[in-house]
């Protein structure tokens, strides 16, 4: 995979997310299909947080495994517009980070660890696309439930 291919995949993932959620509005922010499930706003916030998590894991101090604290950040989001702004910023920042990264650094393996250890960064970052697709599907179900 080339740097540009990865960037194209990440940008396409964001485009597909935006298309599949364009029917949702601010009034849908608090909708969840059942008690205890993430709301519409929290689903988008979770995607944003995970994009940031992958970026920090690949280029920063590593993958933050304190999921309780991370979940609290998502749980605090109540506005779809705020979640969408966070998500857009997260995708933009990730793409910029990849663009600025030398090819040899993208090809370098992540340090050994519980999350994608020894996997080249360029491959590990593909997880953003897979994760976003999973939640895009969930949000499509939410949209259908909302008619």
Q: How much is the pLDDT for 22?
A: 96
Residue 23 pLDDT grade (very low, low, confident, very high; cuts 50, 70, 90): very high
pTM above 0.75, yes or no: yes
**How far is it, in rounded angstroms, from Cα 30 to Cα 42?**
8
Question: How confident is the model over 88-136, as pLDDT tens digits?
Answer: 999 999 999 999 999 999 999 998 888 888 899 999 999 999 999 999 9
Residue 65 pLDDT grade (very low, low, confident, very high; cuts 50, 70, 90): confident
Instruction: Say which residue, 48 or 111, is predicted with more confidence.
Output: 48
Q: Where does the chain have alpha helices with state H? A: 3-21, 40-59, 67-75, 80-100, 103-107, 121-124, 127-145
């Amino acid at each position: 995979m080339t740097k540009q291919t990865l960037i194209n995949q990440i940008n396409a993932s964001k485009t597909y997310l935006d298309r599949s959620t364009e029917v949702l509005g601010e009034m849908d922010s608090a909708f969840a299909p059942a008690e205890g499930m993430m709301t519409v706003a929290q689903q988008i916030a979770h995607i944003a947080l995970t994009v940031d998590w992958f970026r920090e894991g690949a280029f920063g101090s590593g993958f933050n495994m304190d999921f309780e604290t991370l979940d609290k950040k998502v749980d605090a989001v109540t506005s779809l517009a705020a979640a969408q702004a966070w998500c857009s910023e997260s995708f933009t920042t990730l793409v910029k980070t990849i663009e600025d990264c030398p090819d040899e650094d993208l090809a370098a393996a992540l340090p050994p660890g519980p999350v994608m250890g020894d996997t080249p960064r360029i491959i590990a970052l593909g997880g953003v696309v897979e994760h976003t697709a999973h939640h895009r599907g969930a949000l499509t179900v939410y949209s259908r439930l909302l008619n």
